[in-house]
Amino acid sequence: MKKLTTPQDFFDYQSEVKKSVDPKKTQIIICAGSGCLAYGTQKLIDGFKAEIEQQNLQDVMDVRASGCHGFCERGPIVLISPGNIFYQKVGLKDAPEIIEKTVLNGETIERLLYKDPQTGEKIIREHDVGFYKKQQRFILGQNSQINPTSINDYLAIGGYGALAKVLSETKPQEVIDEIIEANLRGRGGGGFPAGWKWDSTRKAVGDPKYVICNADEGDPGAYMDRSILEGNPHTVLEGMLIGAYAIGSSEGYIYVRNEYPLAVTNITLAIEQARELGLIGKNIMGTDFSFDIQINRGGGAFVCGESSALFASIEGRAGEPRAKYVHATDRGLYDKPTCLNNVETWANVPLVISKGAKWYQSIGTENSKGTKIFALVGKINNTGLVEVPMGITLREIIFEIGGGIPKGRKFKAVQTGGPSGGCIPEEYLDSPVDFDELTKLGSMMGSGGMIVMDERTCMVDIARYFLQFLEDESCGKCTPCREGVHQMRVILDRICEGNGQEGDIETLEWMGQAIADGSLCALGGSAPAPVLSTIRYFRDEYEAHIKDKKCPAGVCKALITYKIDSETCNGCHLCFKPCPTDAIAGEKKKLHTLDQDKCIQCGACYEVCKFDAVIVE
């Protein structure tokens, strides 16, 4: 690769790269995100390459290892292009057949097609799969178009064109004005308008100015930022470069948790490739603009997702937050003006610049523009990453994209916004998903976690689970968070153990408000949300635990008893082996019994029984 010394050099080189792509060649695109790699994708990639080489088919087809396609429930995923043929749960033994039947002869392989759970229809094209139909995949959709380790792949789909555009024809303030007009709000949780933050940093007194990408994604079940860094690292770099140009920064950091090895590998390679082309470094494209990026690996502390704690970590100090009246745009990293956005926010920037603010404003609601990526997990049929327009309803996400609740069970609640988000009940399923509406419901957008719960989820227990996580992750600097969250968790423990007392609910409510008002950072400020929202919407469950000493969902061990129903038990013996304490006795095809003295309420028998013969009281 050669150094690109002018914007025209860049456009000429990009044109050459685009021309080098052979449109007649079939592309076998294989998801190589972390999820599919866990399924054995690397062996699949190697198998396809070996088969192509063995049959000497290199001139008619290529294999491309891509980033995450989102539908993690169905990995490994293989796309055949052209044709947009979608194969799921592909194994190594399927590679020769796909090449022979699909690529060479145009036949589809029925067993590898996705089967619609509602209609039973076999779906051939990716865009016809229910999981993808209502998505607008402007960010994630690029994953399937490129190999994340190839900068030329990114250039071929228009990558770094937005950067060349701003360097050749747009003034820094004009870039900021475009981001403000688009109303791009930060995807890291707070939803603060990115353009305003950029403008404040540009106008702040002091040099150097820093640009930081927050990739310290610590929410349980969330992996949106990881998948972008793994699958399309160059779009994040391009967004940071555009932001740095607008702000007047020459130095940036990507703060990424060390538990993301593939993301670290791919972003490191992307930086090296961009530097080799002259897109990072001194006098980029022959202009006066210079910018370089360092990678800083975090140790996995959840609190370091908070901006000031993140700054402290980069500086080599303990990751503890500071008072919010000190704004990062004035005094951030090393007490210098700093602009921090998360991975998804930076990935949106090239989109805004290349397509324009008016186009971006056409997507979403009045105050929440563009798309949002969610990690859709929990008690739901289709788990994975979804990218949807702001304003889509929770019902559409859960029941149309997510395919509803497994095993015919009933939806109970969905938690949005990560461990410190709120739990939203069924009555609000038709609420639009955007920053402001979720806040009204006692939850928040957060970075994009979305955990679905069914009728067998105890809301008291789920509140306790998230509070335990936040208690462990508290840095301990401020008393309201350190002591208050601990004491709330102690009360929840007592309630779940059958020792709840009159007045506990009211105590949790006032403690939660006091902690939210008095904590130093957003971890403590939002920590009570799972408790307060579950009390707000599921107060009857708290009262059942305290007054009736019952767990309506059948989860809290101290409050439940498992029994075998004599009328429905047919002696199938399925419950016999999973029981760890030999509490179940009985011969095949005869009524079983359950010894209460031996039973430890593990629920194994309840989970495996197909005839509802194991009941919870």
Give the whole-angstrom CA distance, residue 390 versus residue 371. 5
Digit-coded pLDDT (tens) for 483-494: 999 999 999 999
**Contact (CB, 8 A) for 163 and 291:** no
Residues 493 and 531 in one domain: yes
Strand partners, 115: 122
Whether 428 and 465 share a structural domain: no
Decide: 305 and 214 in contact? Cβ < 8 Å.
yes
Q: Which of 361, 380, 402 is the last residue of a domain?
A: 361
| Same domain, residue pair 203 and 297 | yes
Structure tokens at 381: 């049929």
d(C-alpha 586, C-alpha 575), whole Å: 10
DSSP character string of 415-459: EESGGGSPEEEGGGTTSB-SHHHHHHTT---TTSEEEEEETT--H
Spell out the residues 6+ positions from residue 106 whose beta carbon is closer than 8 angstroms to its own: none
- For residue 56, the tally of other CB atoms under 10 A from its CB is 8
Residue that finishes a domain, picked among 327, 361, 395: 361
| Segment holding 574, helix H or strand E | none
Tell me what pLDDT residue 247 has: 97
Give the CA radius of gyration of the chain.
26
Position 259 in a domain: yes
Opening angle at CA 281, ends 277 and 285, nearest 5: 55
Residue 617 lies in a domain: yes
**pLDDT band at residue 117 under the 50/70/90 scheme:** confident
* pLDDT tens digit sequence for 389-418: 999 999 999 999 999 999 889 999 999 988
Write the CATH number for 406. Answer: 3.10.20.600
pLDDT bin (cut points 50, 70, 90) of residue 614 is confident
DSSP letter at 544 equals I
CATH number of the domain where residue 581 is located? 3.30.70.20
The sheet that has 371-378: what strands, in order across it? 384-389, 371-378, 449-454, 411-416, 423-425
Q: Are residues 160 and 302 in the same domain?
A: yes
Bond into 432 cis (ω within 30): no
How many CB atoms within 10 Å of residue 391?
A: 16
Flag whether 175 is in a domain. yes
d(CA 21, CA 346): 28
* Same domain for 195 and 337: yes
Residues 336 and 425 in one domain: no
Distance CA 390, CA 363 (A): 7
Within a domain: residue 136?
no
Beta carbons of 195 and 339 less than 8 angstroms apart: no
Q: What SS3 class is residue 187?
A: coil
Secondary element (H or E) of residue 533: helix 529-543
Total count of domains within the chain? 5
Q: Identify the CA nearest to 528 among candidates 538, 543, 517, 539.
A: 517
For residues 201 and 209, is the Cβ–Cβ distance under 8 A? yes
Structure tokens at 213: 């990408």
One domain, residues 502 and 583: no
User: DSSP string of 577-615?
Assistant: TT-TT--EE--TTS--EE-TTT-----HHHHH-SSS-EE
Does residue 442 sit in the same domain as residue 467? no
pLDDT, averaged across the chain: 93
Residue 444 in tokens: 């928040």
> Do 117 and 212 fall into the same domain?
no
Average pLDDT over residues 67-88: 94
Query: Does residue 79 contact residue 102 with C-beta atoms inside 8 Å?
Result: no
Is 25 strand, coil or helix? coil
Partners of 454 in the β-ladder:
411
Shared domain check, 583 and 518: no
pLDDT tens digit string along 510-545?
999 999 999 888 888 888 999 999 999 999 999 999
Q: Is residue 11 part of a domain?
A: no
Query: What pLDDT score was predicted for residue 602?
Result: 86
Look up the CATH number of the domain holding residue 96: 3.40.30.10
CA distance 593 to 590: 10
Are residues 259 and 288 part of one domain?
Answer: yes
pLDDT tens digits, 200-212? 999 999 999 999 9
Taking residues 152-180, what's their average pLDDT? 96
- Which residues of 10-106 form beta strands (DSSP E)? 26-31, 61-66, 78-81, 85-87
Residue with token string 């002091």: 206
> Tokens in use for 228?
């972008």
Residue 4 counted as domain residue? no
Go through 282-298 and write b for each residue having 16 or more CB atoms within 10 A of its CB, e for each that does not.
Answer: eebbbeebebebeebbb
**531 close to 492: Cβ distance less than 8 angstroms:** yes
**How many CA atoms within 13 Å lie on the side-chain side of 135?**
26
CATH of the domain at 530: 1.20.1440.230
Query: What average pLDDT does the segment 373-396 reach?
Result: 95
Q: Which domain holds residue 526?
A: 459-548
Mean pLDDT score, 433-437: 91
127: buried, middle or exposed (CB in 10 Å: 19+, 13-18, 0-12)?
exposed
The last residue of a domain, from among 302, 331, 361: 361
213-262 pLDDT, tens digit per residue, is: 999 988 887 889 999 999 999 999 999 999 999 999 999 999 998 889 99
CA dist., res. 47 & res. 27, Å (int): 15
Region for 612 from its dihedrals, namely left if φ exceeds 0, alpha if ψ lies in -120 to 50, beta otherwise: left
Angle between the N-to-C axes of helices 343-355 and 224-231, in degrees from 0 to 180, rounded to the nearest 10: 60
What pTM, to 2 d.p., does this model score? 0.92
Of the candidates 158, 240, 194, 184, the residue with the CA atom closest to the CA atom of residue 352: 184
Q: What pLDDT was estimated at residue 1?
A: 66
**210-215 and 338-342 beta bridge pairing:** parallel
- Looking at the structure, do residues 226 and 313 belong to the same domain, yes or no? yes
**Quick one: pLDDT band at residue 96, thresholds 50, 70, 90?**
very high
The answer to whether residue 110 scores a pLDDT higher than 70 is: yes
Average confidence (pLDDT) over 12-36: 92
How far separated are the first and last CA of the chain, in Å rounded? 70
Whether 237 maps to a domain, the answer reads yes
572 band by pLDDT with thresholds 50, 70 and 90: confident
Rounded mean pLDDT of 478-487? 92
Q: What CATH number is attached to the domain comprising 254?
A: 3.40.50.11540
**pLDDT at residue 476 above 90?**
no
Q: Is residue 479 part of a domain?
A: yes
Q: Is the bond leading into 530 cis (omega within 30 degrees of zero)? A: no
Q: What is the pLDDT of residue 274?
A: 97
